[in-house]
Amino acid sequence: MAIPKVMGTEVEYGITVKGDPDFDPISSCVLLVNAYREDHAGEILWDYDQENPLADARGFQVDGEKYTPNQQENIARNKTLVNGARYYVDHAHPEYSCPEVTNVRDLVVHEKAGERILEASRREANALLPKGAQMLIYKNNSDRKGNSYGSHENYLMDRRTSFKQIVENLMPFFATRQVYCGAGKVGAENRSAPVEFQISQRADFFETEVALDTMVKRPIINTRDEPHADREKYRRLHVIVGDANLSEYTIYLRNGVTAIVLQMIEDGTISKSLALRDPVRAIKETSHDPTCRKELQMDEGRRLTAVELQAEYLEMALAHFSSRSIDPITKDVLVKWEHALECLRRDPMELDTKVDWVMKKAMIEGFMERKSLDWSSPQVEMLDLQYHDLRPDKGLYYLLERQGRADRIVSDEEITAAIHQPPTDTRAYFRGECLKKYGSAVFGVNWDSISFGVDGEPIKRILMAEPLKGTKAHVDELLVSSPTAADLVKNLRA
């Protein structure tokens, strides 16, 4: 039986400083991250000792050196937040990794909280810039100069499920799911064929099927084997093929449907072979066809559109749950998935309040019609970028939301609460509450550990190898009975 699909996302944001001729992205990212302040005291390290990004899921270690910053750089580039998230500088981008959650609705809440946190720190950073300079943050995937940055998803999986089986069943799914979770993009990049508008921001940048890289020769399926949990029991599927989405409905479908397919893989209920002849070609062909009618060449000779291929997965999912108990959120995801595919089959523009790429396309086409412009206009490209602007008063997605033209999944109140409150049903609760209560005593943090410096003694590292332990139900009594970090360490050893 499939294990619970604990999940999370990591979003790299685009950054620039308008009015600064000497713009340096790395120093701007450091300024941005450090502009965000929380109440807990102390300078907390990110525990790189607990990471191994060179382990490959195919069973070997890749040659290379693991980057470990010195202590000063570590503190300057990393923040662990009281909501259980990590906010940090990744190469030349600010990145927000939301806390672990147990369901896709909570994931929407916490990913959207990340947007609010980025915008709050942007405002604080702007106050520190020279007069006339303004920092801008975009939740997108390309700088239009040939550089792409990621929006990654993570899912807990059973280690007993073979990686070969995961690859075979996921490849066609990942090559085509963009029809309901693409962010939309004007034009093409990375030497791809010219196109006026395409479904995905990322599709042009995928060049191979399976590999460990995330920045060069990007693969549709990434092989990083870094579980951040008990390695004997779990793997963390690190998904790099998705777009950075703003629509709550799109995020909900993106992660919710993927979690369902992963559950089916673990339960062995994917009964059809849907292998594509050339997945790398298929992901681009799908993206470059906003009509969603392009037929893709299957391995066994058939030709299916991306929507038809997704419908095959849906049919198997409905069969999978027909004889199993189903929770309300999973049931809702199935209903919304089926509805999205029905709309895409008839006319994708029926999803103009739900799916990012359709919302963006409808907005741009309305503007072009009013202004008598075509897709080659610089104004159109600017609108594309403006859709992803995190400023609530400037970002075009947020304009659509205020106008009631963006379907919501969660409330503003839930998002605001998630800025300061961790999920209660994963180990993120223990991490976040420890920062609130013992902040000055926390020495270092990783997803699966937290370390304390107590009374001048050697650092005490508490391992958290089980993502579903450390919950509110599991640790609240312990936290209440531990007024200090020393008490906590003592009580844990008792």
Return per-residue pLDDT of the chain as tens, 494 residues: 899 999 999 999 999 999 999 999 999 999 999 999 998 767 899 999 878 888 888 887 887 777 788 999 999 999 999 999 999 999 899 999 999 999 999 999 999 999 999 999 999 999 999 999 999 999 999 998 888 999 999 999 999 999 999 999 999 999 999 999 999 999 999 999 999 999 999 999 999 999 987 777 899 999 999 999 999 999 999 999 999 999 999 999 999 999 999 999 999 999 999 999 999 999 999 999 999 999 999 999 999 999 999 999 999 999 999 999 999 999 999 999 999 999 999 999 999 999 999 999 999 999 999 999 999 999 999 999 999 999 999 999 999 999 999 999 999 999 999 999 999 999 999 999 999 999 999 999 999 999 999 888 889 999 999 999 999 999 999 999 999 999 999 999 87
* Residue position matching structure tokens 């390290």: 45
The reply to whether 407 and 426 lie within a common domain is no
* Residue position matching structure tokens 């970090």: 485
Distance of CA 263 to the CA centre of its chain: 19
- Is residue 451 assigned to a domain? yes
The reply to whether 370 and 264 lie within a common domain is yes
Last residue of a domain, one of 417, 442, 459: 417
The reply to whether 85 and 153 lie within a common domain is yes
Q: Give the whole-angstrom CA distance, residue 312 versus residue 472.
A: 39
- Is residue 485 assigned to a domain? yes
- Is residue 486 assigned to a domain? yes
- Is residue 62 assigned to a domain? no
Confidence (pLDDT) at 402 = 97
Q: What is the DSSP letter of 91?
A: T
Confidence (pLDDT) at 213 = 79
Q: Give the whole-angstrom CA distance, residue 481 versus residue 494.
A: 13
The reply to whether 457 and 362 lie within a common domain is no
The reply to whether 444 and 338 lie within a common domain is no
The reply to whether 345 and 424 lie within a common domain is no
Confidence (pLDDT) at 446 = 97
Last residue of a domain, one of 392, 417, 442: 417
Q: Give the whole-angstrom CA distance, residue 121 versus residue 95.
A: 12
Domain, as residue range, for 291: 7-38+81-417
Residue 46's SS3 state is strand
Last residue of a domain, one of 417, 445, 469: 417
The reply to whether 278 and 383 lie within a common domain is yes
Give the number of domains in the chain. 2
> For the chain, how many residues are written?
494
Q: What is the mean pLDDT of the chain?
A: 96
- Is residue 387 assigned to a domain? yes
Residues known to be catalytic: 90
Distance of CA 381 to the CA centre of its chain: 24
**Which helix (H) or strand (E) element contains residue 342?**
helix 328-346
The reply to whether 104 and 214 lie within a common domain is yes
The reply to whether 276 and 422 lie within a common domain is no
Confidence (pLDDT) at 328 = 98
- Is residue 248 assigned to a domain? yes
The reply to whether 412 and 486 lie within a common domain is no
The reply to whether 363 and 422 lie within a common domain is no
Confidence (pLDDT) at 49 = 85
Q: Give the whole-angstrom CA distance, residue 122 versus residue 87.
A: 13
CATH number at residue 228: 3.30.590
The reply to whether 469 and 363 lie within a common domain is no
- Is residue 402 assigned to a domain? yes
Judge if pTM exceeds 0.95: yes
Q: Is the separation of the CB atoms in 101 and 9 below 8 Å? A: no
- Is residue 144 assigned to a domain? yes
